[in-house]
Structures are given as C-alpha cells and as structure tokens.
Amino acid sequence: MKRLPGIEQFKNARTRMVARDVEEAGVTEPQVLEALRAVPRHAFADKALEFQAYGGHALPIGHGQTLSQPYIVGRMTELLALTGEETVFEAGTGSGYQAAVLGLLAKTVYSVERLPELARRANRLLSDLGLANILVAAGDAYHGWDRYAPFDRIIITAGCSAIPKPLLDQLADPGILVAPVSADGEKQELIVVRRSAGVDTRIRAGECRFVPFIATEGPDADPERESRASTSL
Ligand code: SAH
C-alpha cells in the first residue's frame, strides 16, 4: 500500500487505535485495516486536537462538522467491498479522512462538500499527502457529480432522511451504495444498497450517528440556502 508522508508520526498510537477501536469492534477486512494504519489521521484533525486523533472518537473540524470516528470509517469502507478498480463518489468530504482511506483502496474518488472552506482544506490536505486520485469539489452532493457518473460505489457520510434519487441514478450496475439514513429524523441506520442485474437489494447494517445532510433539493433541503453547482477545486 502507498506510503503516505507523516506516517511515522504517532505510528504506535495509530496501530493501537486500529486494533482497539476498529478491529475489536468488528471490522475484519485486512485491506481496510491496513488503509486505516496507513492514513495519518492526525493530519486531518485541527492542529490543537492532533494529540486526540488516535483516541478512537469523532473530532470537531469547525463549522459544526466532524471528522468521523475510525470505526465507522472502517465499517463503511468494508461494506463498499473495494478491489482497487472502482470509481467512488463520496457525499460529504468533511475533513477528507474518509476520502483518503478510499483513495488507497479504490481507483478514483470523487468527493463533494457543501462548505467551501472545508472542501478547500480537505483538498489541500489530500494533495499534501500525494493522493492524486481524489478529486474534491465544493457543492451540494445531493446532485452527485454527473460528469463522472456512473460510480461503482457511493458513500454518503452525513445523515439523510432518504437516499437522494440522483445518487441512486448515478450508481453503476453492479454497484454498492452505503448511507446513514434516518427515517424518523432521529435514529440513523447504515443502509447498504447492492445493485446487480437491474435489481436493488437493501440491507441494514447497524446504527450510526452523523451530522445532518443538508441539501438544496429533496427531503433534506434547507429552503434558506441557494442552489450551488459543484465546482472543482
Ligand atoms: N467524511 C467526513 C465526515 C464528514 S461530516 C470525514 O471523513 O471527515 C459530514 C460532512 O457532510 C460535513 O462536512 C457537511 O458539511 C457535509 N454535508 C452535509 N450535507 C451535504 C451536502 N448536501 N452536500 C455535500 N456535503 C454535505
């Protein structure tokens, strides 16, 4: 697996985190565990919280948003069943940490973040790490990214009340989509959509807790926000 800069720093803490907070919690796919050991999570945390980056919990990254817990990143990545050949779409770049993990395990990653400042920050961090197969854009991921669709895999990393229809339209066949969905606006559940020969099968893969998906259209639309098209950084 690609060796990323910064990997020697906090190496023991990171190895411990992966064993204790991810593997023991039930993520078993060796490639996913290796990718989590290979990404310097501290680089995605705010400088002041760097020392907390291997505590196994979610971390604030400003603007009320979070860098996801390593377990859920591992779990969702495992559910995507990547072989290295896939194009992946991520809705909700946030810190860019999940995108970095995907970047090590897939061919290309397209990630869209609605807050331009976070998109810029993630883009910079990912290029500093030399992850040239990840493209970040600022915009509303509700609409996916038409230009690069269809995607073999889609991951939504913010809690939505229903899977956005444009994202289902941009999922390839065969394809897998993983998303935290909350039907009642409270409890979120990971939903996995497996598409094969024109048929979608949905399975539930456990509870989770993400910050809300805020879109310009659909059931999670925030009427106070204007529509913004995705713009590559
Ligand atoms: N994958 C991230 C976790 C992100 S938290 C990580 O590894 O750090 C969820 C992110 O989704 C937030 O940054 C939030 O701003 C973003 N988000 C919420 N609704 C969105 C939308 N409609 N389009 C794009 N990004 C969205």
Residue of 211, 217, 226, 233 best suited for mutating to test ligand 1, as the one with most atoms within 8 Å of CB: 211
Q: Whole-model pTM?
A: 0.95
| Domain residue spans of the chain | 58-230
CB atoms within 10 A of CB 19: 12
Q: Which two tokens stand for residue 171?
A: 């999922």
How many degrees, rounded to 5, is the angle at CA 67 between CA 143 and CA 89?
Answer: 30
* Rg of the chain, C-alpha, whole Å: 16
Residue corresponding to tokens 């290979």: 38
Residue of the nearest CA to atom 16 in ligand 1? 92
68 is known as an active-site residue: yes
Residue corresponding to tokens 């760097």: 50
Residue of the nearest CA to atom 19 in ligand 1? 213
The CATH classification number of 58-230 equals 3.40.50.150
pLDDT digits (tens, 9 = 90+) for 84-131: 999 999 999 999 999 999 999 999 999 999 999 999 999 999 999 999
**Phi and psi angles of residue 21, each rounded to the nearest 5 degrees, phi first:** -100, -15
Residue corresponding to tokens 């998906």: 213
Task: With beta carbons less than 8 A apart as the criterion, state whether 166 and 142 touch.
Answer: yes
CA–CA separation, 218 vs 150, rounded Å?
20
CA–CA separation, 48 vs 63, rounded Å?
16
> What is the CA(5)–ligand 1 centre distance, in A?
25
Amino acid at position 5, single letter? P
| pLDDT (tens place) for every residue of the chain, 233 residues total | 889 998 899 999 999 999 999 999 999 999 999 999 999 999 999 989 999 999 999 999 999 899 999 999 999 999 999 999 999 999 999 999 999 999 999 999 999 999 999 999 999 999 999 999 999 999 999 999 999 999 999 999 999 999 999 999 999 999 999 999 998 878 999 999 999 999 999 999 999 999 999 999 999 998 665 555 566 67
